[in-house]
């Protein structure tokens, strides 16, 4: 059987970025949208040759009423057809009490649920369906906030808490082409077209303009993220070596910083020392 191009790309990403190994158990986050459906479908193709154990997790926030329930039913049917065990969680978002956006709160809850389920089922990795387009959008959003190297690094392909992104190097059009050729259906989230969300405006208005100006803009933004991530890691290593001599533990839950030593450091190091100090709180 001839493998589709997207399958080759994903295998290349998995190997080059060391996302997972043979015989591992992977928990796949699936919303019912094209990216997550394609991800589970591709990992299902790889399951025999890589001897993978697959499980899936779906969060139903109930924010879109019948549409949310329709997503859940679709995911249940899809996973049943692939014979992949599915864990479904109904998650309640308290909109009136929130201090962040609905999207941000939903994301935080989703990651929490994924970690809990992965521990329950003994998964080695948690796979999510972020693509190169998602990375480009993330970099642009951080750029608009005036972020430094850490923000411009975007999303890593592999996070230390076992989160992996096998579609990291794949573009959205490749995903849709794969699903069309394979005859795999998916759900469309109506909230993706609500333009009061900044990410949706970047996706629907900014990226198309950039594509007309520079057709390779997604590749360029992803390359920028990779460069910034390596530079950010290098700076962090150097700052961490200086941090212990600059920062001293004070009373309970307090830290002090040696101002004289701090002022002798380059500005980039000063900023990182202060940022690390806040992270210690």
Whether the per-residue pLDDT at 280 is higher than 80: the answer is no
- Residue 223 in this model has a pLDDT that exceeds 90: yes
- How distant is the alpha carbon of residue 21 from its chain centre? 20
> pTM higher than 0.95 for the full model?
no
For residue 97, which phi and psi values (nearest 5 degrees)?
-95, -5
pLDDT of 274 reads 82
**Domain covering 5-221, topology:** Rossmann fold (3.40.50)
Tokens of 167: 């579609």
Angstrom CA distances, 157 to 123, 150, 153, 177, 199, stand at 18, 15, 11, 22, 20
Question: Residue 281: CB partners within 8 Å, gap ≥ 6?
Answer: 253, 255
Question: Would you call 224 exposed, middle or buried from its count of C-beta atoms within 10 A (0-12, 13-18, 19+)?
Answer: middle
Do residues 124 and 25 lie in contact, with contact meaning Cβ atoms separated by under 8 Å?
yes
CA–CA dist 54, 158 (Å, integer): 18
- Over residues 171-176, the mean pLDDT reads 96
Q: Can you read off the two tokens belonging to residue 160?
A: 């230390």
> How far from each other are the two terminal CA atoms of the chain, in whole angstroms?
55
Confidence of residue 35 (pLDDT cuts 50, 70, 90): very high
CA distance 57 to 89: 8
Bridge partner residues of 257 (DSSP): 247
pLDDT at 70 over 90: yes
According to DSSP, residue 257 is labeled E
Q: How many CA atoms lie within 13 A of 162 on its CB side?
A: 20
3-state SS, residue 201:
helix
Query: What pLDDT shows up at residue 191?
Result: 80
Sequence spans of domains, the chain: 5-221, 232-279
How big is the chain, counted in residues? 281
Rounded to the nearest 10°, the torsion over CA 193, 181, 20, 109 is 20
| Whether 231 contacts 149, CB under 8 Å | yes
Q: What does the buried/exposed string (b/e) look like for 225-253 if buried means 16 or more CB atoms within 10 Å of the residue's CB?
A: beebbeebeebbeebeeebeebbeeeeee
Assess contact for 167 and 131: CB atoms under 8 A: yes
Predicted confidence (pLDDT) per residue in 84-102, tens digit: 999 999 887 765 554 556 7
For residue 101, CA distances in Å to 98, 198, 210 come to 7, 11, 26
Q: What pLDDT, in 10s, does the model give residues 179-188? A: 999 999 999 9
Lookup: tokens for 183: 């005859």
Q: Place 248 in a pLDDT band, splitting at 50, 70 and 90.
A: confident
Tell me how far apart the alpha carbons of residues 242 and 236 are, in angstroms, rounded to a whole number. Answer: 10
pLDDT exceeds cutoff 80 at 62: no
Half-sphere exposure of 191 (CA within 13 A, CB side): 16
Core vs surface per residue 189-203: b (16+ CB within 10 A) or e: eeeeeeeebbebebb
pLDDT band with cut points at 50, 70 and 90 for residue 123 = very high
From 203-207, 223-227, 235-239, the region with the lowest mean pLDDT? 235-239
pLDDT the model gives residue 15: 97
């Amino acid at each position: 059987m001839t493998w589709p191009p997207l399958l080759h790309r994903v295998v290349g990403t998995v190997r080059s970025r060391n996302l997972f190994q043979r015989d591992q158990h992977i928990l796949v986050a699936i919303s019912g949208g094209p990216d997550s459906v394609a991800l589970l479908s591709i990992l299902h193709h790889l399951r025999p040759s890589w001897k993978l154990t697959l499980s899936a997790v779906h969060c139903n926030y109930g924010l879109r009423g019948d549409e949310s329930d329709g997503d859940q039913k679709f995911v249940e049917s899809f996973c049943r057809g692939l014979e992949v065990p599915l864990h479904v969680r109904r998650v309640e978002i308290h909109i009136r009490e929130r201090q962040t956006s609905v999207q941000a709160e939903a994301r935080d809850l989703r990651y929490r649920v994924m970690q809990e389920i992965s521990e329950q089922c003994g998964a080695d990795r948690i796979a999510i369906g972020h693509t190169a387009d998602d990375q480009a959008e993330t970099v642009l959003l951080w750029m608009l906030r005036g972020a430094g190297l850490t923000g411009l690094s975007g999303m890593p392909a592999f996070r230390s808490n076992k989160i992996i992104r096998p579609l990291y190097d794949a573009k959205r059009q490749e995903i849709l082409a794969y699903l069309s050729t394979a005859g795999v259906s998916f759900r469309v989230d109506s909230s993706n077209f609500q333009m009061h969300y900044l990410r949706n405006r970047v996706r629907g208005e900014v990226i198309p303009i950039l594509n007309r100006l520079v057709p390779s803009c997604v590749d360029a933004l992803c390359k920028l993220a990779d460069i910034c991530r390596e530079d950010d890691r290098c700076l962090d290593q150097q700052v961490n070596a200086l941090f212990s001599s600059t920062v001293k533990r004070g009373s309970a839950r307090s830290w002090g910083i040696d101002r004289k030593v701090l002022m002798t450091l380059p500005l980039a190091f000063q900023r990182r020392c202060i940022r690390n100090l806040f992270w210690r709180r």
